[in-house]
Amino acid sequence: MRKLLIWLPLAIFILFLGVFAGGLIKPEGKVIPSKLVGKPMPSFSLPPGLPGKAGLSSEALTNGQPHLVNIFASWCLPCIAEAPQLDQLAKAGAPIYGIAIRDRPEDLARFIERHGDPYRAIGADTNSSVQIALGSSGVPETFIVDGRGIIRRQIIGDIKPEDVPGIMSDLAAAQ
Amino acid sequence: MTRGLILLAALVLAVPALADSLMPAARYANEQLPDPQQEARAKALMETLRCLVCQGQSIADSDAEMAGDMRAMVRTRIAAGEEPEAIRKWLIERYGDWVSYKPPLDGLTWPLYALPALLLALGLWIVSGRLKRRRKS
């Protein structure tokens, strides 16, 4: 028994080594979900991101209809990848509102021209303040907001083609 | 020679793949508050808030744009008279305890605080036992 016990510290040491090596070889890419899911949209008012297009305030999201709020930016590469899916959602009747993070009107105009415009309105969040108030930690992210302005779901990262039906049904359920 | 030149051109012309916006940093992202006392309080808070993009750094250390915007937010709110702990609470309501480098004392984290004291007591007990035995012999 005693003889075996001598090996215990070494065994524990090797176990620790394994845990640390695992963490180094395969670090967890952690996504940080917003704690505001299930809570009301924070109140905000953003100026238009594009001349000739409406800006976005939180009141616009409490008109009894569910909405998609898409956090994006012209400088964000995955946002290009999700643009066809947003177009598909908009064509299917989903009301999509954009919040453009740290964007200039000229860059935004070029992005919209090249990748399509699924947005009913785009608010310009030039200092990320609304993004931080929403508990969002990157671009792109999409929030499903119900008719009373309660956040129902957060989609972190770009919307893939296979995500579209689920988003449409969640949107219909968020009346 | 030509191969070397092509290689050099590729190195010089390479554009970093990391996406960053073209906007300049917000005011107070990299600028201190005029009041040194307020700046000290903002700095202390920023060193214990975690950057959301570059997950191993505090927002005081990080060069990420979002960390800069968070620094600007912290400094602006402290200059407006808000308490640092109120700002921390506001962020935890949005991102969870994850965003703070100051772990709260609750049902899940109490062993973190209790274990050092327990291990110290255990060590003292073992040492005192050995000393007593040695004195006897």
Tens-digit pLDDT profile for residues A88-111: 999 999 999 999 999 999 999 999
Alpha-carbon A16 to chain mean position: 36
- CATH of residue A158's domain is 3.40.30.10
Does A116 fall in a domain? Answer: yes
pLDDT tens digits for A69-79?
Answer: 999 999 999 99
Separation CA B42–CA A143 (nearest Å): 31
CB pair distance less than 8 Å for B65 and A135: no
Q: What is the ipTM of this complex?
A: 0.84
Q: Which residues of B touch A (CB under 8 A)?
A: 19-23, 26, 52-53, 55, 65-66, 69-70, 72-73, 91-96, 98-99
pLDDT value for A55: 92
Cα distance between residue A154 and residue A133, in whole Å: 14
For an interface test with A, the pick among B18, B23, B65, B98 (most A C-beta atoms closer than 10 Å) comes out as B23
Alpha helices in B18-109 (DSSP H): 36-46, 65-79, 84-95
> Would residue A112 count as lying in a domain?
yes
Does A122 fall in a domain?
yes
Residue B106 CA to its chain's centroid (Å): 20
| pLDDT: which is higher, B2 or A17 | A17
Tokens 């898409």 -> residue: A70
CA dihedral for A30, B16, A72, B51, sign (positive or negative): positive
**A81 at B interface, C-beta within 8 A:** no
Task: Count how many domains chain A has.
Answer: 1
pLDDT tens track for B66-115: 999 999 999 999 999 999 999 999 999 999 988 999 888 888 888 888 99
Report yes or no on A71 lying in a domain: yes
**Tens digits of residue pLDDT in B18-60:** 467 888 888 899 999 999 999 999 999 999 999 988 878 999 9
- Joined together, the tokens standing for residue A122 give 């785009």
Phi-psi label, residue A128: left if phi above 0, alpha if psi -120 to 50, beta otherwise:
left
**Where in the sequence is the domain holding A58, given as residue range(s)?**
45-173
Say which amino acid occupies A125: D
Q: Where are the beta strands (DSSP E) in chain A?
A: 45-46, 56-57, 67-72, 96-101, 119-125, 141-145, 151-156
Distance from CA of A168 to the nearest CA of B (A): 26
pLDDT given at position A40: 94
Q: What is the C-alpha separation between B94 and A34, in angstroms, rounded?
A: 6
Average pLDDT taken over every residue of chain A: 92
Predicted local confidence at residue B15, as pLDDT? 46
Does the residue A19 lie in any domain? no
pLDDT at B2 > cutoff 80: no
The encoded tokens of residue B3 equal 């191969």
Chain B residues in contact with A126 by the CB 8 A cut-off are 23, 26
pLDDT above 60 for A9: yes
**Cβ neighbours of B69 in A, within 8 Å:** 102, 127-129, 132
pLDDT in tens, B113-131: 899 999 999 999 999 999 9
pLDDT digits (tens, 9 = 90+) for A136-170: 998 999 999 999 999 999 999 999 999 999 999 99
CA distances from A3 to A9, A11, A20, A57 (A): 12, 13, 28, 72
Residue type, A8: L
Q: Which residues contact A156 (CB under 8 A, 6 or more apart)?
A: A31, A33, A137, A138, A141
